[in-house]
Amino acid sequence: MEAARPEVAHNNSTERQEGGLRFSFLGPRGTFCHAAVLQVANDMDQLIPAIDVPSALRMVRNGDVDYAVVPIENSVEGGVNATLDSLTYHGRLEIKAEMLVPITFALAARPGTQLKDVKRIATHPHAWAQCRGWIAEHLNDAIHIPATSTAAGAQILASTADNPGFDAALCPVPSAIEYGLTVLSDAVADNPNAVTRFIMCSLPGPQPERTGADKTTLMVQLPSDEAGALLTMLEQFSVRGVNLSRIESRPIGDALGRYAFSIDAEGHVEDERMQAVLVGLHRVCPHVDFLGSYPAANGKRVRPRPGTSDADFVAGRAWVRHLLGKS
């Protein structure tokens, strides 16, 4: 689950401490996103919590940080729309790494509170959605108090003297401990396999080296709104033997029924077959955003289908050049 520390050429436009990098992340401290950034940052680096995903990404665009770490996909809730949409708006960013974080919540309260006293629970709506079953079983009549993050409720419980309007918070275990709260349960989760995928983004630049177990992320607008446009787009991948590991529609936003697709494809932009896919998409789609090639966190190696290896493409081009009398 550990992503290799990124090898980053120091970006001169960014002022920073000797030897360290700057990371923005979806704050506050103590969230799962904080756990994600710790997979790639080290002690020399500076971690800066952001109020929301667009803010974290804006810091990269402004040169305030080298990287932003934000969630992109949750195994229960699906794609994180704010991230999918924000990567391409106001200046394209590129993904340089992905990190997986298992999702389990603590039910945390002020010392002295007992489980039976919990009537109102603060947490982020996504967290609430992932714990509804557990709550229904153990705290049948508890009410959800929305918070801006999974850690915010814990922070308020710890820092406010007066009544915060709720009795407990659903938060990551480390944040409960950090804030000195009592953990009433440390395994609140409807799905014990829940995991969230985070990405580390930077300004466009050199891609991480090809490892053989890579992903390429794209945002592709469909050729047209007519029938078969999605099939036409998907054929650009299938005819070159490139598999998709994720595809999500996103409204283009100007009207109902107009979509772009956020796609993770298996392979690296340095793979010949991926380059052929990109040329094909560029030809037939009105807009394609390249959002980076990076090592897959699950380490799953791509096995090219017969006829789709780099050598196959090189041999095919050499043959055509020969037919043209150019070699």
Binding mask 111-150 for a copy of itself (x = CB under 8 A): --------------x---x--x-----------x-xxx--
Q: Which is nearer to a copy of itself, 10 or 112 (CB)?
A: 10
| Nearest distance from C-beta of residue 67 to a copy of itself, angstroms | 19
**Are the CB atoms for 230 and 222 separated by under 8 Å?**
yes
Restricted to residues 193-222, the positions that interact with a copy of itself (CB under 8 A) are: 193, 195, 197, 205-207
Q: Which is nearer to a copy of itself, 200 or 242 (CB)?
A: 242
From the CA atom positions of the chain, what is the Rg in Å?
Answer: 23
Q: Write out the two tokens for 247.
A: 């595809």
Per rule CB under 8 A, is residue 180 in the interface with a copy of itself?
A: no
Distances (CA, A) of 217 to 3, 68, 265: 17, 16, 6
| Nearest distance from C-beta of residue 251 to a copy of itself, angstroms | 5
Q: Write out the two tokens for 85.
A: 């949409």
Binding mask 293-322 for a copy of itself (x = CB under 8 A): -----x------xxxx---xx-xxx-xx--
Per rule CB under 8 A, is residue 47 in the interface with a copy of itself?
A: no
Q: Which residues pair with 95 in a beta bridge?
A: 201
| Nearest distance from C-beta of residue 275 to a copy of itself, angstroms | 5
Q: Which is nearer to a copy of itself, 45 or 94 (CB)?
A: 94
Restricted to residues 146-175, the positions that interact with a copy of itself (CB under 8 A) are: 146-148
Give the closest residue to 56 by CA, choosing from 67, 44, 43: 67
Restricted to residues 225-264, the positions that interact with a copy of itself (CB under 8 A) are: 226-228, 230-231, 234-236, 238-239, 241, 243-251, 253-257, 259
| Nearest distance from C-beta of residue 112 to a copy of itself, angstroms | 25
Distances (CA, A) of 312 to 238, 269, 309: 16, 16, 5
Burial annotation 261-272 (CB, 10 A radius, 16+ → b, else e): bbbbbbbbbebb
C-alpha–C-alpha distance, residues 284 and 221, integer Å:
10
**Are the CB atoms for 242 and 266 separated by under 8 Å?**
yes
Q: Which residues pair with 79 in a beta bridge?
A: 73
In this chain, which of 100, 108, 176, 201 binds a copy of itself, going by CB under 8 A?
100
Q: Which is nearer to a copy of itself, 63 or 223 (CB)?
A: 223
Total number of residues that touch a copy of itself (CB under 8 A): 78
C-alpha–C-alpha distance, residues 5 and 47, integer Å:
15
Q: Which is nearer to a copy of itself, 12 or 193 (CB)?
A: 193
Helix (H) or strand (E) holding 38: helix 32-40
| Nearest distance from C-beta of residue 224 to a copy of itself, angstroms | 9
Q: Which is nearer to a copy of itself, 16 or 250 (CB)?
A: 250
Question: Helices 310-323 and 272-284 sit at what angle, rounded to 10 degrees?
Answer: 70
Kindly compute the dihedral angle of the four CA atoms of residues 106, 108, 114, 119, in this order, to the nearest 10 degrees.
-100
Strand 94-102 to 78-79 pairing = unpaired
Per rule CB under 8 A, is residue 77 in the interface with a copy of itself?
A: yes
SS3 of residue 310 by DSSP: helix
Q: Which is nearer to a copy of itself, 4 or 239 (CB)?
A: 239
Q: Which is nearer to a copy of itself, 79 or 174 (CB)?
A: 79
In this chain, which of 54, 63, 102, 212 binds a copy of itself, going by CB under 8 A?
54
